[in-house]
């Protein structure tokens, strides 16, 4: 979750939502995001809302966190009432969720299951750093009902891991994948980052080769973004490290696309590849398709029927509001019909299935021919689908359509 919160409209203390938003809940897939805001150390590039033990300050602790999160689950159940379907996806993110003992993560999942129930084929994911989980932990998580796990590998090059301030050693991610497979996880993913200062194309090729050798089911590959206020941004500002080069990022994206496609992976979103539809991250697809999700935890964001809302950032403030019987929501915004339409363009165009042409306005449709003529997209069954070149320039294609 991002470390900065947008401003918005005031939210009611009881967490209630407009009737029009609640009316959509029954007709949408329903996901729960559980934010665990703890890390052993802070990576230099990280801008997420996470806290090391030293940063937590008085009045907050890992041991008390699950009780606060369960209180928010109770609040969400009261707000949604009997409108919510069974939960289709659960995603535990962070931070480093597996810094909590498996029994505590199991308590969170039990809270979700008891309030709403899980769909028969529910996807239940936790993120993990490779060095924050043992083989025994993975067995316990699988037995608790987790079906999917995503490890933050980032790179197989030791010098790249050092620049990113990652603590695990090269090879540990692959070992963790093998342990998760032995524990019975149905789907295993690795996250990679490309474009780190000092990373060569061969370094990136080695990372992709190592990830593929681990025989995972899903891979995410994100270009490094130097976020203001991070330790990495400070090093770039002082001239110690160079900013990522756009041409270098493009070359590495194309290499990823080539290597992954030859090994049976297909891109179902600009930065995400899966070995078959059954291994696509359904929780993230819910974000991109505008479904319903409720984010539990400090700084977590939610969406219900066109209303977005987000919680207070710090674990102390979060726990305090819930202990007082109040909603932890900091602010919210209600999107009008055109804002929701524009958001569909921004998000659905990134998907392999593309954007239904009917979502575009009449004036926007007049720009489609130009995008297609430049080889950035193609038409498939009344949908606009990005080509490989278009995926490289996805944000620019959106601007060309909407401007």
Is residue 351's pLDDT more than 60?
Answer: yes
Q: pLDDT grade, residue 51 (50/70/90)? A: confident
Using the 8-state DSSP alphabet, how is residue 95 labeled?
S
CA torsion through residues 49, 177, 179, 89, sign:
positive
Q: Over pLDDT 70: what percentage of the chain?
A: 97
Is residue 2's pLDDT more than 70?
Answer: no
Cα gap 367→323, rounded to integer Å: 53
Q: What are the tens digits of pLDDT across the range 142-192?
A: 999 999 999 999 999 999 999 999 988 889 999 999 999 999 999 999 999
For 253, phi and psi rounded to 5 degrees? -65, -45
Which range among 35-44, 124-133, 249-258, 354-363 shows the weakest confidence by mean pLDDT? 35-44
Cα gap 6→310, rounded to integer Å: 9
Helix, strand or coil for residue 346? helix
Tell me what the mean pLDDT of segment 238-253 comes to.
Answer: 94
Q: What are the tens digits of pLDDT across the range 79-101?
A: 999 999 999 999 999 999 999 99
At residue 44, the pLDDT reads 85
Is residue 60's pLDDT more than 80?
Answer: no
307-311/301-304 β-pairing? antiparallel
Taking every pair of Cα atoms in the chain, the longest distance, rounded to a whole number of angstroms, is 59
Q: Domains plus CATH for the chain?
A: 9-289 (3.20.20.70), 336-402 (no CATH)
Instruction: Output the pTM of the full model.
Output: 0.95
Is residue 61's pLDDT more than 80?
Answer: no
CB of 255 closer than 8 Å to CB of 208: yes
């Amino acid at each position: 979750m991002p470390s900065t919160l947008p401003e918005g409209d005031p939210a009611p203390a009881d967490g209630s939502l407009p009737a029009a938003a609640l009316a959509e809940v029954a007709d949408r897939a329903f996901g729960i995001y559980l934010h665990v805001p703890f890390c052993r150390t802070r990576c230099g590039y990280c801008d997420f809302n996470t806290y090391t033990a030293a940063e937590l300050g008085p009045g907050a602790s890992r041991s008390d966190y699950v009780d606060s999160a369960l209180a928010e689950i109770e609040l969400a159940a009261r707000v949604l009432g009997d409108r919510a379907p069974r939960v289709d996806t659960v995603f535990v993110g962070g931070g480093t969720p597996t810094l909590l003992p498996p029994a505590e993560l199991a308590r969170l999942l039990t809270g979700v299951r008891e309030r709403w129930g899980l769909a028969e084929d529910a996807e239940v994911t936790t993120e993990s750093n490779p060095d924050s989980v043992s083989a025994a932990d993975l067995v316990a998580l699988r037995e608790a009902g987790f079906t999917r796990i995503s490890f933050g590998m980032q790179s197989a090059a030791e010098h790249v891991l050092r620049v990113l301030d990652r603590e695990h050693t090269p090879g540990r991610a692959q070992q963790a994948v093998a342990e998760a497979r032995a524990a019975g996880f149905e789907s295993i993913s690795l996250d990679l980052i490309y474009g780190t200062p000092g990373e060569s194309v061969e370094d990136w090729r080695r990372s992709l080769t190592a990830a593929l050798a681990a025989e995972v089911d899903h891979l995410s590959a994100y270009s490094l973004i130097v976020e203001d206020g991070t330790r990495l941004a400070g090093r770039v500002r002082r001239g110690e490290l160079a900013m990522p080069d756009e041409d270098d990022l493009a070359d590495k994206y194309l290499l990823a696309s080539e290597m992954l496609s030859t090994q049976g992976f297909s891109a179902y979103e600009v930065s995400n590849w899966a070995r078959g539809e059954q291994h696509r991250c359904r929780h993230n697809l819910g974000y991109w398709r505008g479904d319903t999700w409720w984010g539990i935890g400090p700084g977590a964001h939610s969406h219900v029927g066109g209303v977005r809302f987000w919680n207070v950032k710090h674990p102390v403030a979060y726990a305090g509001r819930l202990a007082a019987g109040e909603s932890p929501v900091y602010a919210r915004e209600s999107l009008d019909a055109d804002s929701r339409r524009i958001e569909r363009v921004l998000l659905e165009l990134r998907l392999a299935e593309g954007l239904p042409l009917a979502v575009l306005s009449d004036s926007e449709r007049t720009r489609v021919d130009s995008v297609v003529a430049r080889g950035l997209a193609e038409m498939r069954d009344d949908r606009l689908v990005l080509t490989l070149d278009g995926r490289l320039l996805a944000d620019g294609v959106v601007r060309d359509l909407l401007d």
